[in-house]
Chain A
């Protein structure tokens, strides 16, 4: 498939990806660094390039509520937000997944307040990790575009019917001019296909009830049904990604493995930091250090057995979290990976880094690799470490 090489920011790339699905409805409220993405989309609508109905609401709580109403009525729907905007959606974020509404969302990662900070970390995504959405992380504008295109097929699949958020790092990806290949509009739409909702409120011949009272009698059974959905969802993420790889030549799995095959030392990273880590991993590989990277693309559903198998037998593993869990045992990614590796004799330690957009530079990657070398040779190490913070 011939694809045009374009220079776009991450926000612009995702706006194109959403447009290519020809969504019926978009509802959103502006927040930095997401604003530019909806700004671009509004431009498409104003120029008549797409006839999406834009619902400009007065808050993110309303943005997600409007999206739920729209999706329940059977419309292909998306929204986008960041940070505190996502936090304000909270109540409805859970409802979206529980109602099995395949809304797509761009979550442009930004730190949560306070203090007020507009820059990137993953606290917003991680706060929503238990809400029932599929979460796909992106390293660069290309991956943000690709994930956003795929998100429609994944979420709307009849065996999934779940909302999908495509996340990408605020400013670092959202506002950086980067180069990427884009599918032609027709080819993208052909891949995504028209939306066929399973049930809609507007189908008066087949009336349904959405979101009724569900107490001690049935709530738990409904949650059990929902819990069972995620294995299937992971399987469909794999299938859709495979099909997308055949179409575009860009192949995605649950994770990306970089120089992992023979690696004794492994870093686990999400998002844009993975690219920076690759450059430093190459330097250490040139010096004969067997270090590799496992980049988690699909954090929800969490591919626990897949990751545990990939990390089995390594001499040391470092898990980097760009978010903190206050009062918890390490960051969310660390906690899950440690747990997934229960019973294995692989030392796994965690780092919290990059909060509030603190630059994740080449030196920090080198520090982690050198720490891994110490752990691999039997050195003692703290479970949880802070990286790149002044003491």
Chain B
């Protein structure tokens, strides 16, 4: 099977890197978003980085989104978007939150602190930093400390790879056979709130 991608479509490809600790749902987020964009006619590729998997250990997930079939299967080295589900990873050089980033990178961080404070912590110049209290939102709406769905909502506020309504439809379609209505409703509310409560510089 072959399909030809022009350089322009490759340039338009959105590449997202997710940082979290094992158990916070970054793998689910990376793969779920890749699946969800299929509903709006886009192509997605989602994968986590596999290593010694254990709850609480730093881990990374990756999502590519494109209008064309995605052919490359390498790691994402220069992400356009870096989404951090756990703010304690900012203090851990080994987590590599700023690796491969530059002035055009957009950071979306789960924290109750301000973008200016986080920018200082990241030590980056020029990049765009957004924050959202996804943990607080998750505890309020879902009742569990799993900030992955609100972080997708926050990401959509800075990059409209799909509309919030399309995302919510995808969420209902894919999760209703696996989870109770209460959990689904909580996740939908979490997405909405994070989309609205994102703090930008």
Contacts and interface: CB of A to CB of B under 8 A. Distances in A.
Contacts of A361: 74-75, 77
A118 interface: yes
Given A175-B48, A177-B31, A252-B1, A273 B73 contact: yes
A279 B5 contact: yes
A140 interface: yes
A359 B47 CA distance: 14
B38 A276 contact: no
A275 B73 contact: yes
Contacts of B4: 282
A175 B62 CA distance: 12
B34 A278 contact: no
A176 B1 contact: no
* Among B7, B50, B74, B75: residue with most chain A CB under 10 A: B74
Contacts of A278: 2, 5, 71-72
Nearest to A276: B72
A142 interface: yes
Tell me which of A33, A179, A360 has the highest count of chain B C-beta atoms within 10 A of its own C-beta.
Answer: A179
Nearest to A170: B50
A215 interface: no
Contacts of A273: 73
Contact of B45 (A177, A250, A251, A252): A177
Interface string A222-234: 0000000000000
A119 interface: yes
A276 B74 contact: yes
A371 interface: no
Interface residues on A, range: 35 or more
A176 B72 contact: no
B74 A359 contact: yes
Contact of A179 (B30, B48, B50, B69): B69
Contacts of B7: 282-283, 286
B6 interface: yes
Given A173-B73, A176-B47, A256 B1 contact: yes
Nearest to A362: B74
A370 B2 CA distance: 24
A5 B41 CA distance: 10
B73 A176 contact: yes
B150 interface: no
A172 B73 contact: yes
A262 to B, nearest CB: 15
Nearest to A6: B38
Interface string B1-40: 1101111001000000000000000000011001100100
Given A119-B50, A142-B1, A279-B5, A177 B73 contact: no
Contact of B1 (A143, A178, A282): A143
A256 B2 contact: yes
A272 B73 contact: yes
Nearest to A280: B72
Contacts of A173: 73
A282 B6 contact: yes
Contacts of A276: 71-74
Interface in A1-43: 5-7, 9, 33
Contacts of A44: none
A156 interface: no
A172 B45 CA distance: 11
A52 to B, nearest CB: 22
A179 B67 CA distance: 12
A118 B73 contact: no
B147 interface: no
Contacts of B5: 278-279, 282
A140 B50 contact: no
A275 B38 contact: no
B46 interface: yes
A177 B1 contact: no
A177 B34 contact: yes
Nearest to A171: B50
A139 B74 contact: no
A256 B6 CA distance: 19
Given A7-B35, A142-B1, A283-B7, A179 B74 contact: no
Nearest to A245: B1
Interface in B101-154: none
A193 to B, nearest CB: 23
Contacts of B72: 275-276, 278-279, 362
A199 interface: no
A360 B34 contact: no
A258 interface: yes
Nearest to A33: B50
Contacts of A5: 38
Q: Interface centre among A258, A273, A275, A360, by most B CB within 10 Å?
A: A275
Given A273-B73, A283-B7, A361-B74, 20 more contacts: A7-B34, A140-B71, A171-B47, A172-B73, A177-B34, A177-B46, A178-B34, A178-B45, A179-B43, A256-B2, A275-B70, A276-B71, A276-B72, A276-B73, A276-B74, A279-B72, A282-B4, A282-B7, A360-B74, A362-B74
Closest 5 CB pairs of A and B: A7-B35, A275-B71, A177-B46, A176-B47, A177-B31
14 contacts: A9-B31, A142-B1, A171-B47, A173-B73, A175-B47, A177-B30, A177-B44, A178-B34, A179-B38, A179-B44, A252-B1, A275-B72, A278-B72, A279-B10
